[in-house]
Each structure stands twice: as structure tokens, then as C-alpha cells.
């Protein structure tokens, strides 16, 4: 699930609403069974329906007439270790006409998801709340949290998320304030909570204070882990201080701590931007030796450098290295490489690379075809070959970008090849794809198509 900042997510905490303003459905139904019995029954159902394949909604249908905000809160509290089922229950209750969750329910669910280590669901839940515009402003999130904590004792995970929220917008002092409160309330502080504060301090420009906190961790009986030091590496890479970043990396090596993939990738990116390509390769080798498998992002960052500097042989050797270590090239890998090969006139190698794609299980999409069609169209004597790739795309039933259609059609007409335009347009009109059929007139130059946002983004990424 690709990325967004926790700080923005926390703008999505719900506004405080007095409980008296809730609809009648938020109050217990006088004819309902006793609340403890309902809590027991629903909790049993949630426990029995832990798999995503279980039809939980159907099993909960009988409880719909009895649902209330108080009932939801009590069930969620009971489901401390059933994060997945608790979240499904929360979403099910939300769909009941006229029902509205209480502020406390949101807080309890956040804590349940954190306690049960359902961090992916927790992230999606917070992002969903933000996207639905039910929540605004980080200050309101803090206010909500301050009110809810008197009714429900928040755990270290809830506090840590708020610490990261303040840190993501550079409010290091507020992050430290939340952390200090967490300590004062007797929460069992773990290394992840400390790391949240370290990251908040670094993002807020308080690196010296973060180092002081790093030293305090040891005296508190909490040993810094790889994540603790990685915070500083990422901060120094962001500040373009690669020398200090490597000093921290050396310290990790002495303690036999291994950075995660994301941290290694941050260093590789900074090395490539600073033209230190040999050091980037050394880091790639170190990753493999230390048991961290580089991903396509790791390789593509270095590949982008080779493509930018027209280093054909090194680019192709890197792709071979990827495959040697079981990292399959992706769309960006092939698009960058093919664009380079066509640009420098290595058409033979471009053909070889194209034909090898199927061996890795990769099948070109509109963007990869566009690289070949646009690139070859710019080369003298290669217009016919550009048309060949365009026909392949049509035969595969892949709708081309409207800009590709218009470019190729206009170029053929400019060279007096109207017959070729007619052939391509007729082939498009006979396609089983409605999207391709609709572009047939654009090939003839009769209709202008506006690029979609997705098309513009993909073309820019090439």
C-alpha cells in the first residue's frame, strides 16, 4: 500500500462532539438484552471470525437493532488482541443507518490496532479518516486525545503515533511534550517509542537534542537498535551531509547493527546525486553481504545515474546483476534502459533487451511501448520500426497514449505517408478494445485528445 505522512494523517482526528448530540441509535435500546450479554455475544462472534474469508457482516446482522455507541466502545475494549476483527466490526457498525461512532471509539480502535500490531490496518484507518475529511488539524487531534485519555487509558502505541504526527510537521517541542507525558503517565516505554521521538526531533532540526536522547536511552535501560541510528542516517542524507551519515553507519557496523532496506536506499540515492557511483556500488555489495536484499528501487537509483550519463555497458551489467540476485527488473528499469539505448543509437541492444523481457515475466504496457515509438520516431530511418512497435501494441489490445497516437499520425502525414496512417487507423477501428477504437480518428488527425493526469505522470516518469 505506496505513500503519505503521519502528520497529515493526524489532521484527520475527529472533531469533538458532545455525546448528547448523537442520534437515538447511539443510546441503548430499552428492549435490548443487557449490555454485558451483548458485549459477550459480539466478542465471541469476532473471535470466531478472525479470517478475512469469514462473512462477519452476515453474522453481526442480528445485533444491528441493538447497536449503540456504548456497546461499540465496550466491544472494542474487549477486543484488545483482535485488531483485525475489531476494525471490521467498527466498519460494520459505521454502515448502520443513523449510527455515529463516538470520539472514544476512534481512540480505542487506534489503541487496539496498535496493541495487536496491526500497523498496516492502523495506517490505512487513519488515512481513510483523513481522506473522508472527517478530521482536521493536528491541534484538534491533540485536543481530542487530551479529552479521550481521561476516559480511556491510552497505550504507548497511541502516544507514539501522536509523537510522529508532531514530528512530521517539524514541531519537535510538541513531540517532546507528548513523549514526556507518556513517561509521566507510567507507560512502558519501548525502543519504538524512543525512535518516534528521535525521528521527530531530527525532522524538527533538533539533531543535538536527539543525540542527547540517544544517550539517555541507555541509562534508561533501553538499548538503541538499528532503527534508532537509522533515524540519524536519513536526517543527514536529507541534509546532504553524506560524510556524517557514513560516520553513523560505521558506528552501527561496530555494534553489528544492520540498517533496513529503506535506510540503505536513502544513502544510495544521496551517493548517486553526489556523483559517488562507486561508493553506491560498494554499499550495494555490503547490503547483499549483510543479508539485506536490494530491491528494484536500489538498483533503479543507480541505473538512473548510468542512463543520465549514457553509460550503456554499465547499465546493462547492472540489469544482469539484478537478475543474478533474483531482483526482477520492473517497468522503470526497462523504460530507462530502452530510452537510453534508443537515444544513443544502440538499436541492436534495444531489440535484445526487448526480446528478453518475456523471460523475466515482464510484459510491456503502454508506457514501455511509448518509449520505443517516441524514441524511434525521432531517429532518421526508424519511423517504419516505430510503426511496427505501435502495431504490436494494437495487436496486444493495449490502448496507446493519445499523445503517442497524435504524434505518430502527424509525423506520418508530414512525410506524405497518408496510406500508412489509414492502415493504422483501420487496424485500430477493428480492435476489440473500445478505447483503441475511440483513438482511431485521432490517428487520422480528425480528433484532438487531451492527456489524462495518469498519462502525464507516466510520460514524465520516463
Whether residue 126 has pLDDT greater than 80: no
Cα distance between residue 130 and residue 125, in whole Å: 9
> What mean pLDDT do residues 260-277 have?
96
For residue 8, pLDDT over 90 is answered with no
pLDDT band of residue 139 (cuts 50, 70, 90) is: low
pTM of the model: 0.68
In 273-312 the beta strands, taken as DSSP E runs, fall at none
87 has a pLDDT exceeding 60: yes
Kindly give, in sequence order, each residue whose CB lies less than 8 Å from that of residue 277, ignoring residues fewer than 6 positions away: 271, 302, 305, 306
Q: What is the band of 112 on the pLDDT scale with cuts at 50, 70, 90?
A: confident
Average pLDDT of the residues of the chain = 83
Sign of CA dihedral 126, 127, 132, 133: positive
**Quick check: 200 and 166 in contact, CB under 8 A?**
yes
Instruction: Report how far residue 4's alpha carbon sits from residue 12's, in angstroms, rounded to the nearest whole number.
Output: 13
Is 13:141 a contact under the CB 8 Å cutoff? yes
Residue 458: which of 409, 406, 408, 400 has the closest Cα? 400
For residue 26, is it within any domain? yes
Task: List b or e across 91-114, with b for residues whose CB sees 16 or more CB atoms inside 10 angstroms.
Answer: ebbeeeeebbbbbbbbbbbbbbbb
Boundary of a domain, candidates 135, 167, 186 = 135
Within-domain flag for 177:
no
pLDDT score recorded for residue 148? 61
The residue among 389, 375, 391, 374 whose CA lies nearest residue 425 is: 391
Question: How much is the pLDDT for 230?
Answer: 95
Ramachandran angles phi, psi of 453, nearest 5°:
-60, -40
Domain harbouring 412, CATH code: 1.25.40
Integer angstrom CA distances of residue 314 from 88, 278, 302, 311, 325: 50, 12, 10, 6, 17
Indicate the pLDDT class of residue 9, thresholds 50, 70 and 90: very low
| 224-262 burial: b if 16+ Cβ within 10 Å, else e | bbbbbbbbbbbbbbeeeebeebbebbeebeeeebbbeee
% the chain with pLDDT above 70: 81
What is the CB neighbour count within 10 angstroms for residue 306? 22
In a domain, 372, yes or no: yes
444 occurs within a structural domain: yes
Number of domains observed in the structure of the chain: 2
Q: What is the pLDDT of residue 384?
A: 95
Is 412 part of any domain? Answer: yes
The grid coordinates listed for 327 are: 531482483
Q: What pLDDT is attached to residue 11?
A: 39
Question: How far is the C-alpha of 171 from the C-alpha of 173, rounded, in Å?
Answer: 6
pLDDT digits (tens, 9 = 90+) for 405-450: 999 999 999 999 999 999 999 999 999 999 999 999 888 876 554 5
pLDDT above 70 (res 7): no
pLDDT attached to residue 127: 53
Q: Which three cell numbers stand for residue 97?
A: 443507518
Task: Identify the band that residue 12 occupies on the pLDDT scale cut at 50, 70 and 90.
Answer: very low
Identify which of 138, 144, 129, 125 has the alpha carbon closest to the alpha carbon of residue 87. Answer: 125
Residue 420 to residue 416: CA distance in whole angstroms: 9
Of residues 277 and 6, which shows the higher confidence score? 277
Q: Whole domain around residue 65: which residue ranges?
A: 1-135
All three cell numbers of 78 = 474487549
Q: What pLDDT score was predicted for residue 2?
A: 36
Confidence of residue 140 (pLDDT cuts 50, 70, 90): low
Q: Which three cell numbers stand for residue 251?
A: 558506528
**24-54 pLDDT, tens digit each:** 333 445 456 778 888 888 888 888 877 777 8
Number of Cβ within 10 Å of residue 63's Cβ equals 20
Contacts of 61 (CB under 8 A, 6+ apart): none
**279 lies in a domain?**
no
Say if residues 100 and 73 touch (Cβ distance below 8 Å). Answer: no
pLDDT of residue 387: 96
The average pLDDT across 216-234 equals 91
Mean pLDDT computed over 306-325:
96
Which of residues 94, 118, 135 is at a domain's end? 135
Q: Give the pLDDT mean for 283-312.
A: 96
Using N-to-C axis directions, what is the helix angle for 402-414 and 366-377, rounded to 10°?
20
Using the CB atoms, write b or e for 376-415: b if 16+ within 10 Å. bbeeeebbebbbebbeebbeeebbbbbbbbbbbbebbeee
pLDDT at 461 over 60: no
168-210 pLDDT tens trace: 777 888 889 889 988 888 888 889 889 989 988 998 889 989 9
pLDDT at 391 over 90: yes
169 belongs to a structural domain: no
Q: Please list, in sequence order, all residues whose beta carbon lies within 8 angstroms of the beta carbon of residue 211, skipping any fewer than 6 positions away.
A: 232
> Given 71, 104, 135, which residue is the final one in a domain?
135
Q: Are the C-beta atoms of residues 429 and 440 closer than 8 Å to each other?
A: yes
Domain membership flag for residue 55: yes
pLDDT given at position 10: 35
Amino acid at each position: 500500500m505506496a505513500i503519505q505522512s503521519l502528520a497529515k494523517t493526524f489532521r484527520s482526528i475527529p472533531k469533538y462532539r458532545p455525546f448528547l448530540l448523537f442520534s437515538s441509535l447511539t443510546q441503548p435500546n430499552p428492549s435490548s438484552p443487557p449490555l454485558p450479554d451483548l458485549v459477550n455475544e459480539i466478542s465471541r462472534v469476532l473471535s470466531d471470525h478472525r479470517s478475512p474469508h469469514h462473512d462477519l457482516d452476515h453474522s453481526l446482522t442480528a445485533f444491528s437493532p441493538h447497536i449503540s455507541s456504548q456497546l461499540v466502545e465496550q466491544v472494542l475494549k474487549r477486543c484488545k488482541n483482535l485488531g483485525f476483527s475489531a476494525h471490521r466490526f467498527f466498519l460494520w457498525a459505521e454502515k448502520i443507518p443513523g449510527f455515529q461512532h463516538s470520539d472514544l471509539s476512534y481512540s480505542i480502535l487506534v489503541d487496539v490496532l496498535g496493541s495487536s500490531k496491526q500497523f498496516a490496518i492502523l495506517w490505512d484507518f487513519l488515512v481513510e479518516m483523513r481522506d473522508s475529511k472527517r478530521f482536521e488539524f493536528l491541534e484538534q487531534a491533540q485536543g481530542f486525545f487530551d479529552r479521550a485519555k481521561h476516559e480511556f487509558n491510552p497505550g504507548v502505541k497511541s502516544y507514539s503515533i501522536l509523537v510522529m504526527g508532531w514530528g512530521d510537521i517539524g514541531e519537535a517541542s510538541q513531540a517532546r511534550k507528548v513523549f514526556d507525558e507518556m513517561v509521566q503517565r507510567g507507560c512502558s516505554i519501548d525502543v519504538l517509542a524512543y525512535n518516534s521521538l528521535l525521528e521527530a526531533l531530527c525532522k524538527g532540526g533538533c539533531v543535538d537534542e536527539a543525540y542527547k536522547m540517544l544517550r539517555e536511552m541507555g541509562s534508561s535501560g533501553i538499548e538503541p537498535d538499528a532503527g534508532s541510528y537509522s533515524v540519524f542516517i536519513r536526517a543527514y542524507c536529507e541534509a546532504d551531509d553524506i560524510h556524517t551519515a557514513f560516520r553513523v553507519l560505521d558506528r552501527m557496523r561496530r555494534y553489528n547493527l544492520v540498517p533496513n532496506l529503506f535506510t540503505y536506499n536513502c544513502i544510495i540515492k544521496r551517493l548517486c546525486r553526489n556523483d559517488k557511483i562507486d561508493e553506491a556500488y560498494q554499499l550495494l555489495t555490503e547490503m547483499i553481504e549483510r543479508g539485506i536484499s536490494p530491491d528494484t528501487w536500489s538498483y533503479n537509483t543507480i541505473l538512473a545515474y548510468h542512463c543520465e550519463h549514457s553509460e550503456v555497458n554499465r547499465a546493462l551489467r547492472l540489469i544482469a546483476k539484478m537478475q543474478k540476485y533474483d531482483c526482477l527488473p520492473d517497468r522503470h528499469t526497462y523504460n530507462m534502459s530502452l530510452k537510453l539505448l534508443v537515444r544513443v543509437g544502440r538499436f541492436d541492444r534495444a531489440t535484445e533487451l526487448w526480446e528478453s523481457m518475456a523471460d523475466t515475466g515482464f510484459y510491456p504496457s503502454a508506457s514501455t511501448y511509448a518509449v520505443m515509438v517516441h524514441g524511434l520516431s525521432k531517429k532518421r530511418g526508424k519511423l517504419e520500426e516505430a510503426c511496427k512497435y505501435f502495431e504490436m501494441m494494437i495487436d496486444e489490445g493495449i490502448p496507446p497514449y493519445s499523445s503517442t497516437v497524435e504524434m505518430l499520425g502527424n509525423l506520418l502525414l508530414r512525410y506524405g505517408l497518408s496510406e500508412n496512417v489509414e492502415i493504422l487507423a483501420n487496424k485500430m477501428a477493428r480492435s476489440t478494445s473500445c478505447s483503441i477504437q475511440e483513438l482511431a480518428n485521432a490517428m487520422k488527425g480528425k480528433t484532438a485528445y487531451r492527456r489524462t493526469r495518469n498519462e502525464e505522470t507516466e510520460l514524465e516518469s520516463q
